[in-house]
Amino acid sequence: MCADAAMYEAKKSGKKRWVEYQFGMEKSLKRLSDLAQKLSLAEKNNELSLHYQPIIDITTDQITSFEALLRWYNPDLGNTSPQELIDVAEKTGLIHDIENWVLNRALKDLLTFKQIIGQHITMAVNISGLHMSEPNLGNYVFSLLKRYNLQPADLTIELTESVLLTNIDAVDSPANQMTKQGIKLSIDDFGTGYSSLAYLHAIPASVVKVDRAFLNQTENNTVTLECIQTLVSSLNMKSLIEGIETKSQASLLHSLGFNLQQGYFHGRPKPLDYYLSESFTQ
């Protein structure tokens, strides 16, 4: 078990490496295999669900879109954080099936949102960089749009980066196939990790979602946020800022030109049922 754990750590850092066993490694390997085993049955056992968080156009104070956020409740494990669950799904290859489930459910629920809020509402779904390089992704997405009688512009794909994407700008990449037909692409968590400046040119995106890290000490980050805003609009893209928690952040960001906003201040992620209940008022 200890040798397996060290081998696994070595593999994580690339090929032809060796890593000395350290205390605790086998614990994280045990957790990984436990989660992987249970996650492979999660869809079948109805343990997956989605929460929807509104995206607001602050110029009209109206919801324009919802972001679908994955939740997993297992009777033995309780709730697992989306980050950990996505990490396990990427390592085990379960990510394709899980995100296809997310796409299907989110687009189905979009029909309900259009009925209760308005036909203009669109849906944003997070797709892992690994899944984004799956050649069949485009066909699957188009088949879902057809199934639910939706338009390509009804869907935004938020590209969430945990691995460095290669070949995303290839002519026949799923990203290009989908954006050519009118599906929108959004760069998630911009300004952190792999979501770098180089990406802005390489990815056929129309929305840049600025990471909430820039909201800490907003005063110190004001110049950076202004520069991002100028850069993004000069590339004919829209900027969206996430993680807005207070009214003063919302106003300041609005004054910096961030008209699309998302965060606990505007609305927390909630299940579809919440939007159908009386507690929800627009």
Which partner in Mg ion, ligand C2E, none is near 65 (CB below 5 to 8 A by kind)?
A: none
CB of 155 to Mg ion, least distance (A): 14
> Encoding tokens for residue 224?
């950076």
- Please give the Cα distance from 60 to 114 (Å, whole number): 18
Residue number, 127 or 141, with CB nearest to ligand C2E = 127
Question: Under rule CB under 5 A, which residues in 150-169 are in contact with Mg ion?
Answer: 158
Q: C-beta of 56: minimal distance to ligand C2E in Å? A: 12
Q: How far is the CB of 102 from Mg ion (least distance, A)?
A: 12
Closer of 115 and 251 to ligand C2E (Cβ) = 251
**In the complex, least distance from residue 271 CB atom to ligand C2E, rounded to whole angstroms:** 12
Nearer to Mg ion, 125 or 145 (CB): 125
Instruction: Kindly tell me which residue out of 95, 103, 188, 244 binds Mg ion, with binding defined by CB under 5 A.
Output: 188
Q: Interface with Mg ion includes 99 (CB under 5 A)?
A: no
Shortest distance in whole angstroms from residue 70 CB to ligand C2E: 4
Q: Which CB sits closer to ligand C2E, 152 or 243?
A: 243
From the list Mg ion, ligand C2E, none, which binds 9 (C-beta under 5 to 8 Å, kind-based)?
A: none
Alpha carbon 229 to its chain's center: 21
- Residues in the interface with Mg ion (CB under 5 A) total 4
Binding of Mg ion by 189 (CB under 5 A): yes
Residue 102's binding partner among ligand C2E, Mg ion, none (Cβ under 5 to 8 angstroms by kind) is ligand C2E
Min dist. Cβ of residue 156 to ligand C2E (A): 12
Confirm if 141 and 183 have CB atoms less than 8 A apart.
Answer: yes
Judged by beta carbon, residue 4 or residue 134, the one nearer ligand C2E is 134
Tokens describing residue 210:
């600025």
Q: Which residues bind ligand C2E (CB under 6 A)?
A: 53, 69-70, 82-83, 86, 99, 102, 126-128, 158, 160, 188-189, 242-245, 263-264, 269
Structure tokens at 53: 């968080």
Separation in Å, CA 64 to CA 26, 67, 105, 123: 46, 10, 19, 9
From residue 106, alpha-carbon distances to 47, 58, 141 in Å are 16, 24, 12
- Closest contact distance (angstroms) between CB of 126 and ligand C2E is 4
Question: Which positions touch Mg ion (CB under 5 A)?
Answer: 126, 158, 188-189
